[in-house]
Chains A and B, each alone.
Chain A
Amino acid sequence: MAQAFFGGVHPGDMKAATNEKAIEQLAPPAQVVIPMSQHIGKPCRPVVAAGDHVKVGQLIGEPTGFVGAPIHASVSGTVTAVEPRPYSMGGNMMSVVIENDGKEELSETVKAPENPDSLTPEQMVEIVKNAGIVGMGGATFPTHIKISSGIGKVNTVIINGAECEPYITGDHRTMLERPEQIIGGAAYLARMFGVDKVHIGVELNKQNGIDALNRVIAEKKAPAEVLGLRCRYPQGAEKQLCQAVTGRQVPPGELPSAIGCAVFNINTTCAIFRAITQGMPVVKKVVTVSGSGVIDPKNLECPIGTPVSNLFDACGGLKDGTYKLIMGGPMMGLAQYTADVPVGKGTGCMLAFAGDEDQTVEHPQCIRCGRCVSVCPMHLEPLMMYQYTAKDMLDELEDAHVMDCMECGACTYICPARMHLTQMFKVGKQKLGAKKAAEKAAAEAKRAADEKKEA
């Protein structure tokens, strides 16, 4: 059953480089750098100091706000520094640096619950919270909040296995190699939300993955159903996936829970399974290492905090002329300025480009062809928003619903004039935010002045 949403693009999927390569374990890195911000929300506070000995799974960072998730040591060894280091979002972030002793000693805190199948939803949410699980497709929203705020409201639980970005094959390999973890995690999600069935959306270019999941579902009589989805970027975007599965659209500015949906990534589902059955927090990540600059592309499983240079070394190194390192997929990933950045909970892919993927031109000039309008999955008019931002027409920009833009990059990908549309919308959102803040400050200053006058 192929489901549809409006718009989208169909880039060459480039998955052949790695989709038949089994997930390999990376040789233990000598050192890991674990940033204290691996989720949306305030960074964690480190609870270890230089010189401490830590074990795998031991808590090293405590959340400081409501929206947050704890962070655990991914290797055993000695903490050599707690200091700001470069991280994937750009700039530096307080990080715990651990010298790996290679013993992989497991922390005493990692204990499997005695009878996972008799846990109440509240207990399961607590386990998910303590395991530091966040949206591992890249959004990194703390999963326990998504679950606890959704219980009672959500009637459609969706597992996101679309993997619509080119190059990435980690989810596909997980379906083939660990389908029982996905289905097991899905069953726990069904129990937490109290639904009869969980929908697993998978793009139809992963037919063997769909078959593998269906086999396990049949074997275990699991409360899950696999939906084949049309191969179309951004099929795996949360709102588009909800639309494809339910036919409903998430209202502007709202979360999927507004239409009774909750979406979890395949990786997140596996992490839930491991946390509930083994008590294991998030300490490892499957990362696809690919792109024209990589000599031998692979799917690697590595400890959180592994510097990405270790990943490239495990893939034979980089080719000469590599001009771009991207953490994430080619459509929404972040270009990195150094190979020192570590793998985080949301890292699913590391790309190196050495070809002409960018295709930049010196003087892009919009030809008004309207392709951006017809591909925008959020029904926006990118060429108009571009003009409004460039000309500082902020009222018009807001009226064009720039805040609905999820920066999927479909318009920029398709643009024959090679305009930098997505980049402009990021700027536009900032301008709009700055204007709102200035207006608010002015209004408050005025009110303060009025109060003073009255007094």
Chain B
Amino acid sequence: MTDYQNLKLTASSSPHIRSAEDTRSIMLDVIIAMLPALAFACYWFGFRSLTVTAVSVAGCVFWEWLYRKLLKKPQSVGDLSAVVTGILLAFVCPVQIGYWQILIGGFFAIVVVKQLFGGIGKNFLNPALAARALMLASWASSMNRWIAPHSWAAIFSSNADIVTAATPLSYLKGDEIPATFQKLTETYRVTDMFLGKIGGSMGEVSALMLILGGGYLLARKVISWQIPVSFIGTVAVLTFLFPRGNSPAEWMAYNLFGGGLLLGAFFMATDYSSSPITARGQLIYGVGCGALTVFIRYFGSYNEGVCYSIMIMNCFAALIDRSVRPSRFGAVKSAKKEAASK
């Protein structure tokens, strides 16, 4: 029978079982959720979308590997979070961005924003968005040169000959509203906006594909509904209540489907490390993101406000976590009030 005296036993703390889901499987789910948008970018902007994304991913993984290697830290590229950052970074750039530019962006995202603060889970800003902000400040012209749809940017050339087109958001701005908005509705129908047959960054154009991906993340419980719903909901309500066009509903639809709102709400604002941890905190954060987005779109000097609104709310995430805590189990209401007034 069993030799009980020579068992090699581990005496560790409970619990002794773990759920199958781990960091890697979560990141894999996020990657899967981004594939529809990537596929659409290939169809709409050409295969350069794919090569730019591949270079961005390779760069991010390389920078993470190199940093951990040089500083003799445990290797972490296996968790796939650098791959997610790489794809997101490509998604927020226009398709004809230079390969060297996206490598520098990747360096900033991974080394400066993520690793210098301690690696996964420690970055207080979304790495891809912070890199986009840096690239926008450094190379304003190439970050704002929107390629005309279906012009099929060449894979290797610097694309000096590409036709540039204005993004829908630039029509939602300026002193000539609602005339420009009128022009926009004539150029692109709402269905074009929804399907993504418009100009813009690689990953942001197709609302349909982003909703598919976001739905997948929600169904897999990788993200909770609080942030996307409150973020998109706030933008919807504010644009509906304060339209600058003739029809509030139309104005709202163009605002929802134009620009990076859906990409931001599903994939950027939901970044674990830079968003609040409680459900109520996430609602506040999402409303903040939405309100700031509309504020920047209406009154800021940039056309698009999603990137900055998320980064501003990133900075508030820790503060929200400190002030919005779950209600203590069993604490009666009067005791809660006492604790609050302390």
Interface residues of A (CB under 8 A from B): 9, 11, 90, 166, 239, 249-252, 254, 309, 312-313, 317-318, 322-326, 328, 330-340, 351, 353, 357-359, 361-363, 365-370, 373-374, 376-381, 383-384, 401, 404, 407, 409, 412-418, 420, 422-423, 426
Contact = CB atoms under 8 A, between A and B. Distances in A.
A423 B13 contact: yes
B331 interface: yes
B329 interface: yes
Interface in B102-156: 119-121
Most buried by B among A325, A369, A409: A369
A239 B13 contact: no
Given A318-B2, A353-B16, A365 B120 contact: yes
B1 interface: yes
A395 to B, nearest CB: 13
A313 B9 contact: no
Contact of A404 (B11, B278, B328): B328
Contacts of B1: 313, 317
A324 B10 CA distance: 5
A358 B277 contact: no
B277 A370 contact: yes
A421 B277 CA distance: 16
Interface stretch (B22-30, B202-210, B308-316): B22-30
A340 B9 CA distance: 13
Nearest to A322: B7
Contacts of B16: 324, 326, 330-331, 333, 335, 351, 353, 357-358
B330 A325 contact: no
Interface in B67-96: 74, 76, 81
B15 to A, nearest CB: 3
B126 to A, nearest CB: 12
B8 A409 contact: no
18 contacts: A166-B17, A324-B16, A331-B14, A334-B14, A335-B10, A336-B11, A357-B17, A363-B76, A367-B81, A379-B327, A380-B326, A409-B15, A413-B15, A413-B18, A414-B21, A416-B22, A417-B121, A422-B14
B14 A407 contact: yes
A207 to B, nearest CB: 24
Which 9 residue pairs spanning A and B have beta carbons closest together?
A409-B15, A423-B13, A370-B277, A249-B330, A317-B2, A379-B326, A339-B4, A367-B121, A363-B74
B301 interface: no
A252 B14 contact: no
B224 to A, nearest CB: 7
A417 B19 CA distance: 10
Contacts of A335: 9-14, 16
Contacts of B13: 335, 420, 422-423, 426
Nearest to B276: A370
Contacts of A309: 2, 4
Given A322-B7, A323-B8, A373-B326, A409 B272 contact: no
Contacts of A418: 18, 22
Q: How large is the interface on B (under 10, 10 to 19, 20 to 34, 35 or more residues)?
A: 35 or more
A367 B8 CA distance: 32
B273 interface: yes
A221 B115 CA distance: 68
Contacts of B8: 323
A377 B329 contact: yes
Most buried by B among A166, A339, A365: A365
A239 B330 contact: yes
A171 to B, nearest CB: 19
A165 to B, nearest CB: 9
B332 interface: yes
B296 interface: no
A358 B19 CA distance: 10
A417 B22 contact: yes
Contact of A332 (B10, B14, B277, B278): B14
B264 to A, nearest CB: 19
Contact of B14 (A249, A333, A367): A333
B319 to A, nearest CB: 14
Given A368-B272, A370-B277, A374-B279, A412 B329 contact: no
Given A323-B8, A379-B327, A413 B19 contact: yes
B15 A330 contact: yes
A249 B329 contact: yes
A325 B74 CA distance: 31
B2 A381 contact: no
Given A332-B15, A367-B121, A381-B278, 7 more contacts: A251-B331, A336-B11, A340-B4, A367-B81, A374-B279, A407-B14, A409-B14
Most buried by A among B14, B277, B328: B14
A381 to B, nearest CB: 7
